[in-house]
Amino acid sequence: DFQLTQSPSFLSASVGDRVTITCRASQGISTYLAWYQQKPGKAPKLLIYVATTLQSGVPSRFSGSGSGTEFTLTISSLQPEDFATYYCQQLNSYPLTFGGGTKVDIK
Amino acid sequence: EVQLVESGGGLVKPGGSLRLSCAASGFTFNHYGMNWVRQAPGKGLEWVSFIRSSSSDIYYRDSVKGRFTTSRDNPKNSLYLEMNSLRAEDTAVYYCARVVYGDYVYYGMDVWGQGTTVIVSS
């Protein structure tokens, strides 16, 4: 199975901060990686797919980069509504796998 | 409005069975692959199963193979997850989720239901 390791697991930040979350794959997955945001009690929301493509309706402060085994999700200027947990997911092969999540909390 | 609504969750004893349903609306259901994803209490997301738009291919994670069966009824715009021999570790919120583009799972999942809770406990 393709393992995904997210770092950090927890991040404390302030409104306006630039935030970067890393996702490392145990094997190369090309660009078949997606990022999701999840708030407590809610379903995940797709932010980025194929590593760099912003999902329709998602603010442009979110961006994704990377290919192969190393990927990043960047929030250029953290907004109050961005405090949530973020997951990466590899879609290169079955079983599809998610990273362990990064919780972004208010500093 | 594009929407997925899960139902069928509940409390079941270990070894028991449950059938989850996911009702789709607002899009052409038979054009899209669908997934089941679960989340145990306080834990991360875990992919469970994928089914192609035509049901021609179905994939499962190892821990549910032989116990869970995914199916769909395209004329009824519905997705199903039949769960047998349930274990405590199957306790989770179960989400159905649509593939972004047709059957191309590479693009991720863009529409999610609100989830239905399954609790396996004696």
Q: Which residues contact B28 (CB under 8 A, 6 or more apart)?
A: none
Q: Band of the pLDDT at B39, cuts 50, 70, 90?
A: very high
Q: Closest Cα partner for B12 from B92, B94, B119?
A: B119
Q: In which region does residue A78 sit, left (phi positive, over 0), alpha (psi from -120 to 50) or beta (all else)?
A: beta
- State which amino acid sits at residue B34: M
**Minimal Cα distance from B49: which residue of A?**
A95
pLDDT at A91: 97
Helices (H), A1-106: none
B50 CB neighbours in chain A (<8 A) are: 94, 96
pLDDT at B43: 98
Q: Band of the pLDDT at A106, cuts 50, 70, 90?
A: confident
Please name the member of A46, A100, A101 whose beta carbon is closest to the beta carbon of B109: A46
Give yes or no for A36 touching B (CB within 8 A).
Answer: yes
Mode of pairing for the β-strands spanning B92-101 and B34-39: antiparallel
How far apart CA B60 and CA B66 sit, in angstroms, is 9
CB–CB of A96 and B100 under 8 A? no
How does DSSP assign B1-24, residue by residue? --EEEEE--EEE-TT--EEEEEEE
Report whether the peptide linkage leading into residue A8 is cis, meaning its omega lies within 30 degrees of zero. Answer: yes
Please name the member of B44, B50, B114 whose beta carbon is closest to the beta carbon of A98: B44
User: How does the average pLDDT of chain B come out, rounded?
Assistant: 97
Gyration radius from chain A CA atoms? 13
Give yes or no for A62 touching B (CB within 8 A).
Answer: no
End-to-end Cα, chain B, rounded Å: 39
- SS3 for B30? helix
CB–CB of A44 and B108 under 8 A? no
> Is the model's pLDDT at A107 over the cut of 90?
no
CB–CB of B45 and A87 under 8 A? yes
What average pLDDT does this structure show over B65-84? Answer: 98
How far apart CA A74 and CA A82 sit, in angstroms, is 12
Q: Band of the pLDDT at B62, cuts 50, 70, 90?
A: very high
Residue pLDDT, tens place only, A17-69: 999 999 999 999 999 999 999 999 999 999 999 999 999 999 999 999 999 99
Residues of B within an 8 Å Cβ radius of A = 35, 37, 44-47, 50, 59-62, 95, 97, 100, 105-110, 112-115
B115 CB neighbours in chain A (<8 A) are: 43
How far apart CA B17 and CA B2 sit, in angstroms, is 30
DSSP A107: -
Q: Which residues contact A56 (CB under 8 A, 6 or more apart)?
A: none
Six-digit token pair at B73? 């009824």
How does DSSP assign B97-113, residue by residue? EEEEETTEEEEEEEEE-
A96 CB neighbours in chain B (<8 A) are: 35, 47, 50, 105
CB–CB of A89 and B113 under 8 A? no
Contact status, residue A64 vs residue A48, Cβ threshold 8 Å: yes
How far apart CA A42 and CA A65 sit, in angstroms, is 26
Q: Band of the pLDDT at B54, cuts 50, 70, 90?
A: very high
Lowest-confidence range among A26-35, A92-101, B88-97, B101-110?
Answer: B101-110
